[in-house]
Amino acid sequence: MKQEAFESAHEEEWASFEAVLGQLGHGHRYSAAVPTEDFPARYRRICHHLALARERHYTAALIRRLNEMSLRGHHALYGVRPGLQRKWLRFLLAGFPRLVRSNWRPVVLALALFYVPFCGLTFSIQRNPEIAYLIEDPQSLARMEDMYRSGNEKFGRKDESDTDLTMFGFYIWNNVRITFQVFASGLLLGLGSIFFLLFNGLDSGAVAGHLTRMGLGHNFWPFVVTHSALEVTGLILAGATGLKLGFALLAPGRKSRLQSMKDAARNGVSMVYGAGFMVFAAAFFEAFWSSSALVPVAAKFAVGGTLWASVLAYFLFAGRRRV
């Protein structure tokens, strides 16, 4: 198709699309809501027209016009909406801790499911070292010992050549994966969340108890003290949300099980967002702070203690209205 015929066939659609973009605003921030009915489909057609114009080697002026429309359409669909940052800030400063306090029962249950086996194993292994081998195989425990031996430049790593940035990406993937696993498995009537909370508590307790018993606690505990305030708390909150989903399926009350689950998910997904933010922040500390052998142990404990106290105060007091 010649360019003149191509322009004639689509000029009206392009002009209409440009008019809609003009009503929305300019740049990356838009003053109005994007029309939800047909805007995405119209945006895809503009992108298709741009691809055709490039393939057929139409004039630079036409390609530039279509490219500008596609860019503005992309920003309209995916750009930051005014007030989005403020909503997130309000959620993190007040909404998130209020939501956690309003769901204190599943949170307390999730705390117990993780910390009871963790603390029990950590202390039991000091008297009966063989208990660790009931949870972990000897090869895994040997690898853990190598990861926390004195003389390592970086603790908690199988390969010392891994960069901080590489490990940051790995920790993000690993933390988010486990957090989603604990949350989503709550759909199995809550049994999945119970299993993964217990499993992580047992696994962490076996490793902590064994390394402490082997005399490597002076490297292990400074490594975990800081990022665990965010990582473990995020894991527990995700587990609490999974438990809430399971309870909604088991005891829907007068609602249907589907409706009960939807209501619980609608309320709980915000808590999972908050938990995801926490485990993301934990990955930063784990990669760039916790693993470094150059940071003094006293500094790690000081920062870790401050962060634990801050997390506790945040969930107890943030978002409360003054009377």
pLDDT digits (tens, 9 = 90+) for 61-88: 999 999 999 988 888 777 655 555 677 8
Q: Does the reported pTM lie above 0.85?
A: no
- Residue by residue, pLDDT tens for the chain (323 residues) are 889 999 999 999 999 888 888 877 654 444 445 555 678 888 899 999 999 999 999 999 999 999 999 988 888 777 655 555 677 888 888 999 999 999 999 999 999 999 999 999 999 999 999 999 999 999 999 999 999 988 777 887 766 556 788 888 889 998 999 999 999 999 898 999 999 999 999 999 999 999 999 999 999 999 999 999 999 999 999 999 999 999 998 888 888 888 888 888 877 888 999 999 999 999 999 989 988 888 899 999 999 999 999 999 999 999 887 43
For residue 323, the model assigns a pLDDT of: 36
For residue 320, the model assigns a pLDDT of: 83
Let me know: does 63 contact 47? Beta carbons within 8 Å.
Answer: no
To the nearest 10 degrees (0 to 180), the angle between helices 297-317 and 217-225 is 40
Tracing tokens 């609608």 back to the chain, one arrives at: 266
- Residue-wise burial string across 78-89, b where 16 or more C-beta atoms lie within 10 A, e elsewhere: ebeeeeeeeeee
Let me know: does 207 contact 288? Beta carbons within 8 Å.
Answer: no
Distance in Å from the first CA to the final CA of the chain: 72
Q: What are the beta bridge partners of residue 29?
A: 26, 80
Q: What tokens does 239 get?
A: 């587990």
Cα–Cα dist 29/295, whole Å: 42
Cα–Cα dist 169/226, whole Å: 18
Cα–Cα dist 121/187, whole Å: 28
Helix, strand and coil percent figures for the chain, each rounded to 5: 80, 0, 20
Give Cα 189 to chain centroid, integer Å. Answer: 23
DSSP notation for 204-227: HHHHHHHHHHTT-HHHHHHHHHTT
For residue 291, the model assigns a pLDDT of: 87
